Amino acid sequence: MHTFICCHLHCVWNTKKRRRLIAPDLQQRHWPYLGGIGRANKMTVIEIGGVEDHVHALIALPSTLSISKAVQLLKGNSSKWIHETFPEHSTFEWQEGYGAFSIGVSGIDATVDCIRRQNEHHQRRSFKEELIEFLKEHHQTYDDTMLD
């Protein structure tokens, strides 16, 4: 028998110090580039988006790739690309951590909608408020110092 897995993850990560460095013109190139990194590493990329200070990626992992390695590939390769392609963004950095939340098949459409509506969504609340909601929804223990 072959190996079959279904591992959908809603991953989120932010820029260092939540600096608003991913302007809309950069987003138009950055989101597709992240998708290409994912596909090159055998991830199924369902949706990628975000706003000026953070990224959301809905991906499905192959059986050969750990969550930490998948996020490392996405963050590391995209940061390198930004530095090489946009010299004016030489100070660009991702924050060290990330969130990765499992999504059932029945939650894919709602997650895609959430990612596509990030601009609208963040007119009402911050990334930190959104992250706290994810953590509570997924029964994660945290303290405020872990969110900076």
Average pLDDT for 74-93: 95
* CATH number assigned to the domain comprising residue 15: 3.30.70.1290
Let me know: does 142 contact 135? Beta carbons within 8 Å.
yes
Domain assignment present for residue 3? The answer is no
Q: Does the pLDDT value for residue 38 go beyond 90?
A: yes
58 within domain boundaries = yes
How much is the pLDDT for 124?
A: 86
What contacts 136, CB < 8 A, 6 or more positions away? none
pLDDT, position 69: 98
What phi and psi values does residue 22 have, to the nearest 5 degrees?
Answer: -100, 80
Average pLDDT over residues 8-17: 96
Please say if the pLDDT value at position 148 is more than 80.
no
Does residue 34 form part of some domain? yes
Which tops the pLDDT comparison, 119 or 76? 76
* Whole-prediction pTM: 0.90
Helix, coil or strand: residue 7: coil
Whether 2 is covered by a domain: the verdict is: no
Domain holding 45, by residue range, is 8-147
Residue 40 falls inside a structural domain: yes
Alpha carbon distance 119, 135 (integer Å): 21
Number of domains composing the chain: 1
What pLDDT, on a 0 to 100 scale, did the predictor assign at position 97? Answer: 93
pLDDT score at 107: 96
